[in-house]
Structure 1
Amino acid sequence: MNTTTATAPGYTLGQLVLYMLRLGTFGFGGPVALVGYMHRDLVEQRPWLSEDDYREGLALAQMMPGPLAAQLGIYLGHVHYHIIGATLAGIAFVLPSFLMVVALGWAYAHFGGLSWMQAVFYGVGAAVVGIIAMSAYKLTTKTVGKNRLLWAIYLTLAIVTVLTESEIAWLFIAGGLINWLVVAPPKWLSKSGLNAVATAQVPVASGVLSGFDWPLLAQIGLFFTKAGAFVFGSGLAIVPFLYGGVVTEHHWLNDKQFVDAVAVAMITPGPVVITVGFIGYLVAGFAGACVAALGTFLPCYLFTVLPAPYFKKYGKLPAVKAFVDGITAAAVGAITGSVIVIARRSIVDWPTILLALATVLLLWRFKKLQEPIIVIAAALIGLAVYPLIHTHGF
């Protein structure tokens, strides 16, 4: 099937968009599961795309900043239907979960003061710490391995994240540059061009909507566009970055609201990064949700569409790979540091300690256990335990 790209596609654009809508609506299990579903459905079962098409898309998605599954979906739309295919496939994949988190944001804003909702997030917040801890462990073993330089970059970012409780974006780029200079010397610099791409994404989503709080929407657009440009390795990489900006710098949300926002991303299908829609809604209503989502996903869209035609030629250059390895190690270090930062807020008593530990043990023991199941169980435990501990309520 390797000639698929050169011949007429065996499917319509409408069929692909419907598939992406369905995957975005029912695709639980995180980025690794989602990219697995795409391979099974689009390469093995249908087959609409060739193995080569899929592998190239996956390699590009792993290399560029942005949520893995969303970028792969955008690339697969680009294979036969180019810009229009990439655009519609990306929107179809992200839209269902965006609408879900906006609805949850509305419910949270209107009913967040109710004790039952606090009880749910009491349990879920602790489980989220366990989920992120296991993700950090898996990413560390997979991306850092035994490479001493990558370990140094990783540990530096982990320590900085814990100490500052925020994300320092330029350290990501520094990690990539250091690894590039050591692994693939400067003669490759002129060919890689990735450094310029990674730093070129400046605010593009501000002021999309008129008639609202323009200064706030512009701030949201700027911040989330910057965040979207540095989500390397996994959707969870955005968590420490968002915490630094949303809680520490801008004070848009408090600690508890932020952890709840991450929890919402865990219990909805689609990309984890969609939590930005929930955060945007809490900050500035529906307009805030739209601007936050657009700001986050626009860089990932551009990082996929712009290099797609050239990726076959330049994707395997040693300089490009070394740069990406360094940035990925930095991102995973930041995720690991964020586990400690978020745990300080969510782990507040013995039940939450036990919940977080139980989550880690379950994910360790049962490799195929889906995270939404744990989150739902934690919510039920929270409903049962929270009233017993907080007898006075709120």
Structure 2
Amino acid sequence: MAGIVNETSASVETGSHGISLSEAVRVWARIAALSFGGPAGQIAMMHRILVDEKRWVGEHRFLHALNYCMLLPGPEAHQLAIYIGWLMHRTLGGLIAGALFMLPGFLSILALSYVYAAFGNVTLVAGLFFGLKAAVLAVVMQAVFRIGSRALKNRAMLAIAGLAFVAIFFFRVPFPLIIAAAALTGFLAGRSGSSLFTLGGGHKAGAGAVLADKDSLLGEETPPHARPNLAWSLKTSGGLAFVWLLPVAVLLIGLGPDNVFSKIAVFFSQMAVVTFGGAYAVLAYVAQEAVQNFGWLKPGEMLDGLGMAETTPGPLIMVVQFVGFMGAYREPGTLDPMLAATLAAMLTTWVTFLPSFIWIFLGAPFIETLRGNPALTGAMSSITAAVVGVILNLAIWLALHVLFREVDDHVFGPLVVEVPRLLSVDLASLTLTVLAVVALFRLKLSVVATLAICASGGIAWTLLTSAAAA
């Protein structure tokens, strides 16, 4: 761990790119505060600030880092922040970027969890969530257009995105299988020399991507600290693995495996290493275990927690913090329920997110050396295209469940189609969603302003309907 804490030299404070660590901290704090809308919105926000606005990194490098993070278990947007923070300011930069990215979401969900546990689903809170869900839908739609316009440069990429959407939306194919199939397709195509599977989508687009990298402050060259060093990678990741698992071992030995804190530590540590495919790939499993096996949540409460995570900054998988909070709140032992819940929220966040730092510090230096490899580039380009199709699936799924009160599954052999009951349309949600779409796409308002408008509308509508019912 000494290698982590000793990186405070001038080379860390300001690299050859000329960006000081203090300036980077301010930008990472800004990104964290604006990281609404789940991974799609967060990645789009990072791209807008780091690539388009600040020009710290180029398009090719950004997509290369993103595609590597998509292959890892855990929240890809969080890992992308760690990766770029490390690339610019070494290990300390990665630690700061990753910690700041989580902090606003952790504090927001902790505050909402206090309100939820103390007061339940009160009118104001219900109205807040009602309005924010409509805004989140519009943010995800915007992310589909932003990422799709950059990744789907030719018919091959469009075909992969379309097949990914059909596979997950109609046939419920697991996300990891879709990613594996896309990666294999792109790997073989890139190895064969096809220019359609470059990150830019062809020779012309590829040249533009390289030019963008040259024009970025980081440039095309790999910084000295980002070159492969197996001893450093093993030392750093091993130290982080030790501090990750130390609380788990202490709880198991000190409190026994049946204690709620031990169960939380073990369950979410296991989940952290198998969460391939993002939050939605594992939330159903977490909800089932939390409700049926552990009894930490009541039926339906997982949706309330998901609403908190959807409408607060930070990774969507932060919803597990709410699960741990409620688990210890209901099984506090000799502790005060709120104190037990707070400690459990901190424990859940620790064991869930620390592995992300390990994956980046262990593998990123070796991935950096492969940026020009045609086969790897093809695989990563295909993964990006497939993810566009998956995000489109998310946008449609959210639209069905936000805009309609009743949605039915129609099964035709292996084909499963979700069809809304048109008469169950929620006109208030539809109105707020249209308002959010106009704000983002037409008026070009910020995500924060759009969220604020919809939240205010949701609260006003809920108060009016409550007064009318009374």
Normalised by the length of structure 1, the TM-score is 0.71
Aligned residue pairs, count: 355
TM-aligned CA distance change 1:123 to 1:207, over 3 Å? same
Aligned counterpart, 1:360: 437
What amino acid does structure 2 have at the position aligned with 1:130?
A
Shift in Å, 1:230? 3.6
Q: Distance in 1 between matches of 2:455 and 2:250?
A: 36
User: Which residue among 133, 136, 158 is the counterpart of 1:128?
Assistant: 136
What fraction of aligned residue pairs are identical, expressed as a percent? 21
**Is it true that 1:156 corresponds to 2:160 in the alignment?**
no
Alignment of 1:172-183 (within 5 A): 172-183=179-190
For the 8 Å contact 1:62–1:68, the answer to whether it is kept is yes
What amino acid does structure 1 have at the position aligned with 2:325?
Y
Normalised by the length of structure 2, the TM-score is 0.61
TM-aligned CA distance change 1:56 to 1:139, over 3 Å? closer
TM-aligned CA distance change 1:386 to 1:166, over 3 Å? farther
TM-aligned CA distance change 1:77 to 1:159, over 3 Å? closer
- Residues 91-147 of structure 1: CA distance to partner in whole angstroms, max 9, x if unpaired? 244334322322222223333321221122122222222221222232223222333
TM-aligned CA distance change 1:160 to 1:57, over 3 Å? closer
- Residues 13-45 of structure 1: CA distance to partner in whole angstroms, max 9, x if unpaired? 98479647744664567444446556799x78x
TM-aligned CA distance change 1:254 to 1:154, over 3 Å? farther
Shift in Å, 1:245? 3.5
> RMSD value over aligned CA atoms?
4.2
Shift in Å, 1:352? 0.6
Aligned counterpart, 1:97: 105
Q: Distance in 1 between matches of 2:298 and 2:380?
A: 33
Q: Distance in 1 between matches of 2:364 and 2:458?
A: 46
Aligned counterpart, 1:222: 270
Alignment of 1:1-394 (within 5 A): 8-11=11-14, 15=22, 19=26, 22-23=29-30, 26-27=33-34, 30-34=42-46, 37=49, 58-65=62-69, 70-71=78-79, 73-75=81-83, 77-79=85-87, 82-148=90-156, 150-163=157-170, 167-185=174-192, 207=248, 210=251, 211=255, 212-213=259-260, 214-227=262-275, 229-231=276-278, 238=279, 240-247=280-287, 260-261=304-305, 263-265=307-309, 267-270=311-314, 274-278=318-322, 280-282=324-326, 285-286=341-342, 289-290=345-346, 292-294=348-350, 296-347=352-403, 348=405, 349-367=426-444, 369-389=445-465
Shift in Å, 1:350? 0.7
Structure 1 unaligned blocks of 5 or more: 1-5, 45-50, 187-203, 232-237
Structure 2 unaligned blocks of 5 or more: 1-8, 37-41, 194-243, 329-340, 406-425
Q: Distance in 1 between matches of 2:43 and 2:311?
A: 14
Shift in Å, 1:176? 1.1
Shift in Å, 1:327? 1.9
Shift in Å, 1:181? 1.7
For the 8 Å contact 1:32–1:69, the answer to whether it is kept is no
For the 8 Å contact 1:27–1:269, the answer to whether it is kept is yes
For the 8 Å contact 2:12–2:21, the answer to whether it is kept is no
What amino acid does structure 1 have at the position aligned with 2:450?
I
For the 8 Å contact 2:297–2:327, the answer to whether it is kept is yes
- Partner of 1:64, secondary structure, is helix
For the 8 Å contact 2:167–2:178, the answer to whether it is kept is no
TM-aligned CA distance change 1:112 to 1:325, over 3 Å? farther
What amino acid does structure 1 have at the position aligned with 2:68?
M
What amino acid does structure 1 have at the position aligned with 2:266?
A
